[in-house]
């Protein structure tokens, strides 16, 4: 497991008004990061979730932007530039934050570009199988903040001939998000309503995948994903050995995460639901 990079902010760029209100900072080295501040002085789970999702995404080969632990230097911003109330309240209290690299020249997946009209459109995607894997990943980790209405997927468009690559972003609401914080258990079964596989874009990608890769591609991707479950305990344990000491958490959180993600009965249910949605025969 690769350790986090640690970087420091150089100067403020802008504050993004969304659910988690990230702040764009240019950091030493010239790279721009979306930086998320812990919005409490007692609850750091949102940042911890982002970090564990990064390592799980790497395990399951889910494409994501580069990430880092960011030390928000007080001289790199004026407090008057910070408008979101919780950011303003806690940016000086919680300077050790989570950062996701701003991918240059990216596009955001949304209603303006989520229709595939023909095979030519589909062929512009460099990694269409990864769209399928992102949907499986969300179902497994119970990501409540990615859906057909809010994809939380960007396109890396730094490729010739209009080609583009899916990148998944924003994993602050995994394990059921705020509704199940401190309460999620393997018995909290979720469903595929709103999952990105269960929408017109997902359905079209799935049909073209079957055309290009054959009828067994969906089953192969699901089986490959769940075959890696056995590595989760070591990854989560190693992750909690490396997180910043400032990110405090309840002692049972690592074990609860592991129990949730590796529970055999739950994972059998998830695979069954995926096979039903994708119309995969046994």
Is the pTM of the predicted complex or chain greater than 0.85?
A: yes
How far does CA 162 lie from the centroid of its chain?
25
**Mean pLDDT across the chain, nearest whole number?**
95
**Strand 67-71 relative to strand 165-168, pairing:** unpaired
Q: For residue 4, what pLDDT is reported? A: 85
3-class state of residue 32 by DSSP = strand
Give 111's contacts (C-beta < 8 A, 6+ positions apart): none
Alpha helix (H) residue ranges in the chain: 45-59, 85-90, 119-123, 128-141, 200-213, 217-226, 232-242, 253-262, 264-277
Q: How many residues does the chain have?
A: 282
Q: What is the mean pLDDT of each run of 10 residues along the chain (282 residues)?
A: 88 90 96 96 94 97 97 97 95 96 94 94 97 98 95 95 95 93 88 95 97 95 98 97 95 97 97 95 71
CB environment 228-242: b (16+ within 10 A), e (fewer): ebeebbebbeebbee
Residue 40: both structure tokens together: 């409490």
Q: What is the DSSP string of 240-255?
A: HHHS-TTS---TTHHH
Q: For residue 282, what pLDDT is reported? A: 64
Q: What is the DSSP string of 37-67?
A: --SSSS--HHHHHHHHHHHHHHHTT-----E
Q: For residue 228, what pLDDT is reported? A: 98
């Amino acid at each position: 497991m690769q350790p986090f990079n640690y970087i420091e902010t150089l100067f403020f760029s802008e504050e993004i008004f969304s659910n988690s209100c990230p702040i764009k900072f240019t950091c030493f080295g010239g790279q721009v990061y979306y930086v998320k501040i812990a919005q409490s002085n007692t609850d750091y789970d949102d940042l911890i979730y982002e970090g564990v999702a990064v390592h799980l995404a790497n395990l399951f080969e889910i494409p994501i932007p580069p990430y880092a632990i960011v030390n928000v230097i007080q001289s790199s911003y004026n407090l008057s530039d910070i408008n979101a109330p919780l950011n303003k309240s806690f940016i000086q209290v919680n300077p050790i934050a989570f950062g996701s690299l701003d991918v240059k020249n990216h596009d955001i997946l949304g209603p303006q570009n989520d229709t595939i009209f023909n095979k030519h459109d589909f062929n512009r995607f460099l990694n269409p199988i990864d769209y399928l894997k992102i949907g499986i990943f969300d179902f497994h980790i119970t990501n409540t903040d990615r859906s057909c209405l809010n994809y939380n997927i960007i396109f890396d468009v730094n490729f010739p001939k209009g080609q583009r690559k899916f990148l998944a972003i924003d994993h602050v609401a995994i394990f059921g998000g705020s509704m199940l914080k401190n309460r999620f258990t393997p018995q909290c079964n979720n469903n595929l309503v709103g999952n990105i596989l269960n929408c017109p874009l997902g359905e079209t990608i799935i049909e073209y995948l079957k055309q290009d890769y054959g009828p067994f591609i969906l089953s192969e991707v699901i089986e490959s994903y769940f075959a890696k479950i056995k590595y989760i305990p070591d990854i989560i344990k190693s992750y909690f050995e490396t997180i910043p000491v400032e990110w405090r958490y309840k002692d049972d959180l690592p074990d609860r995460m592991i129990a949730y993600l590796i529970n055999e009965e739950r994972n059998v249910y998830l695979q069954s639901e995926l096979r039903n949605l994708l119309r995969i025969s046994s």
